[in-house]
Structure 1
């Protein structure tokens, strides 16, 4: 099996050294490159096309949010894992909107970094266990449950399966391969499920998935 190729960007030398040591200690992970600011990281990611980019949120030049947006648009094969000291749930939603696949607190890195890298590399979503529950719970946002009750339309088993995998961060192509459907069929099931539940964005689908326990297993990988 090929190693998981990672690019790391963090402007704190001590943190950078610690994260490098964790990554280098795992024979299944290859540290392909490192940068100390967003301006260095973006061209490096474009050039190396790693499987995972581990990015600090607060960096000079391009910050983590801007860098995540650029990587998601310009390097879709690279999945972003955000590494941060910020425990405020308000930080999570904008980063998910920007295209991040993972959110890990720096204080959890020693125990959970390798698990998070593997989960994101495999196509899933990883949220730090200490914030996963409240970070996606947004009572004021449309979670879809009320829409389902009002319309009386329940999801079919296949619609539920597709939506669950979407919430976990898999692409339509990855889902098609996993459950042996065409990409077009996956898109159809996704559209039907989202319409029934009144879900309009990926973030809303993730919130719905979190409220139904679909992300719980991901935080344990």
Structure 2
């Protein structure tokens, strides 16, 4: 069933919260005919649809639900197409975006492809083309959410390390041996071994390779510096 949201009932301003549950297809447009057709198409494959009259309405209403966003490259009024794409790029919302465009909009379509990762569908399109694009976008969204959850879990574990353990971890990431770490920190090798053991326990791994990879990948994903000053 459609959830056509008006400007008046979408005034939520909280940031979206990461969620992993049943996906929803979000659609921004005022064309009721296209909206109804899309609703029937998605109902046939068991996917719910939420529609919005403008990009502004979507941005205010979005609550972090998994899914993908569909919009036309042009709409009679309101935020949509490339403008919506640009707004999304500056927001914490990372939903995969599908843009429909006609041949006449080729130049705009090229801009859309350059500005942000987007799936472009040329109109008129067949039902199976849209379904394939939606299913691909939903897989991408789920993968990104799973990666984000793993990253958050890594930082949760890192927060349990003591300052001494964190210091040892940074040197482990640099590839420094226990003996050299002990010399640098002016402690015994046994002390370093004990700290290292606690690090493995708290980070829930027994492999130095896995430990280094999980921390470095988490930092890269969040844009944190990996280098030690």
Using structure 1 for the length normalisation, give the TM-score: 0.50
2:60 corresponds to: 43
Deviation of the 1:50 alpha carbon = 4.0
Structure 1 residues 118 and 61, CA, compared in 2 at 3 Å: closer, same or farther? Answer: same
Counterpart of 2:42? 23
Structure 2 residue runs of 5 or longer lacking an equivalent are 1-19, 152-209, 221-229
Instruction: Decide whether the 8 Å contact of 1:49 with 1:78 is kept in 2.
Output: no
- Say how many residue pairs are matched: 137
Tell me, in whole angstroms, the C-alpha distance in 2 between the residues paired with 1:183 and 1:108: 44
Q: Please give the alpha-carbon distance, in whole angstroms, between the structure 1 residues aligned to 2:125 and 2:140.
A: 21
Inter-partner Cα distance in structure 2 for 1:38 and 1:102 = 17
Instruction: Give distance in 1, aligned partners of 2:66 and 2:96.
Output: 8
Answer whether contact 1:81 1:100 (CA < 8 A) is retained.
Answer: no
Q: State yes or no: 1:55 paired with 2:71.
A: yes
**Aligned-partner Cα distance in 2 for 1:91–1:76:** 22
CA displacement, residues 153-179 of structure 1 (integer Å, 9 cap, x when unaligned): xxxxxxxxxxxxxxxx979x58x99xx
Deviations 1:53-100 (A, max 9, x none): 111111212131111122233243311111222465422332133324
Where 1:52 maps in the other structure, the secondary structure is strand
CA 1:183–1:104 in structure 2 vs 1: closer, same or farther (change >3 Å)?
farther
- Residues 82 and 108 of structure 2 are in contact (CA less than 8 Å); yes or no, is this contact kept in structure 1? no
Are residues 1:64 and 2:81 paired?
yes
Alpha-carbon separation, structure 1, partners of 2:144 and 2:68: 14
Deviation at 1:117, TM superposition (A): 0.7
| Separation in structure 2 between the aligned mates of residue 43 and residue 100 of structure 1, nearest angstrom | 22
In 2, the alpha carbon distance for the partners of 1:20 and 1:73 equals 29
Q: Which residue pairs with 1:95 in the alignment?
A: 112
State whether residues 21 and 65 of structure 2, in contact with CA within 8 Å, keep that contact through their aligned partners in structure 1: no
Matches within 5 A, 1:18-167: 18-27=37-46, 29-31=47-49, 33-44=50-61, 46-47=62-63, 49-59=65-75, 60-86=77-103, 88-123=105-140
Deviation sequence 1:2-57 (CA, Å, 0-9, x none) = 53211111222211111121112112x222x201222322222x335442011111
> Please, what is the CA RMSD of the aligned residues?
3.4
CA 1:73–1:24: 2 relative to 1, 3 Å? farther
Quickly say closer, same or farther: Cα 1:95–1:186, change in 2 above 3 A.
Answer: farther
